[in-house]
Structure 1
Amino acid sequence: MVITGLVFAGIAALIHVYIFYMESIAWTGDRSRATFGIASLEEAEVTKALAFNQGFYNLFLALAVMIGIVVFAAGNTTVGATLIFVGAGSMVAAGAVLLCSSPSKASAALKQLVPPLLGLLSLALGLSL
């Protein structure tokens, strides 16, 4: 179960790196605008600074999880698991906030919160056995 938890946490981190890319680097591009429901280039330009900042939050969460995986794999289970639980737990919480505040974005929220949730549950179960 521990390996499963680390894999799901890693997938969650990669998803959040991609979200960082879309929000902080490619926000005004067609794909990012379509993904986030931004109809016009003008609207994307107006919200660009907010998206840029938000993208970095996603990157920092991903980095916490990735560093946690590396530290865990290097043998420091406590520090590694703590980083994973904090980073992935924050991903789950952010996805839950999106789901509750914007039910129309349920698909995006579930993509954001299900992989880290599976990682957390699997890792917790694996560590408790």
Structure 2
Amino acid sequence: MVLLSNLLTLLVSLIHIYILLLETTLWTHPAYGRKIFRMTEEFAQQTRLLAVNQGVYNGFLALGLLWGIWHPVPMVGQQVKLFFLGCVSFAGGAGALTVGRRVFWVQSVPAMVAGIAVVAWG
């Protein structure tokens, strides 16, 4: 069951790696960043540097989750996973309030499910 909680945590990490790529390299691309965030080309260009900054933070979340999965001390790894999953859940809630409800479903719900699995199985 630890494997399942690690796989769920890995899924959340992969979501944030995707968000990192989306915000740092695909923000102004018409079929990715602009379409997903429903932006005009002008607005995407104006906010490009802000998006890069956001993307870097999502990368930190992904790295923290990976650190928790592969930490050599299982109890420490569990605590690290719970901390970063909590950060992701909170960030998704903030995104839901500021960007749209879809952010809650993409970020918070998977993080909460993974967090429950980590508490239940390690």
TM-score, length of structure 2 as denominator length: 0.91
Structure 1 stretches of 4+ moved >4 Å: none
Residue aligned with 2:47, SS = helix
Summarize the Cα distance change of 1:10–1:97 in structure 2 as closer, same or farther, 3 Å threshold: same
The CA deviation at 1:77 is 1.1
Unmatched 5+ stretches in structure 2: none
Corresponding residue of 1:121: 116
Corresponding residue of 1:53: 53
1:117 maps to a residue whose letter is M
The answer on whether the counterparts of 2:68 and 2:76 sit within 8 Å (CA) in structure 1 is yes
2:10 maps to a residue whose letter is G
Mapped partners of 1:5, 1:18: distance in 2: 20
Mapped partners of 1:2, 1:122: distance in 2: 8
2:38 maps to a residue whose letter is G
Aligned pairs, number: 121
The answer on whether the counterparts of 2:88 and 2:107 sit within 8 Å (CA) in structure 1 is yes
Unmatched 5+ stretches in structure 1: none
The CA deviation at 1:4 is 2.1
Corresponding residue of 2:63: 63
Q: Any residues of structure 2 matched to 1:1-129 within 5 Å, and which?
A: 1-30=1-30, 31-38=32-39, 40-71=40-71, 74=72, 76-102=73-99, 105-127=100-122
Higher helix share: 1
Residue aligned with 1:26, SS = coil
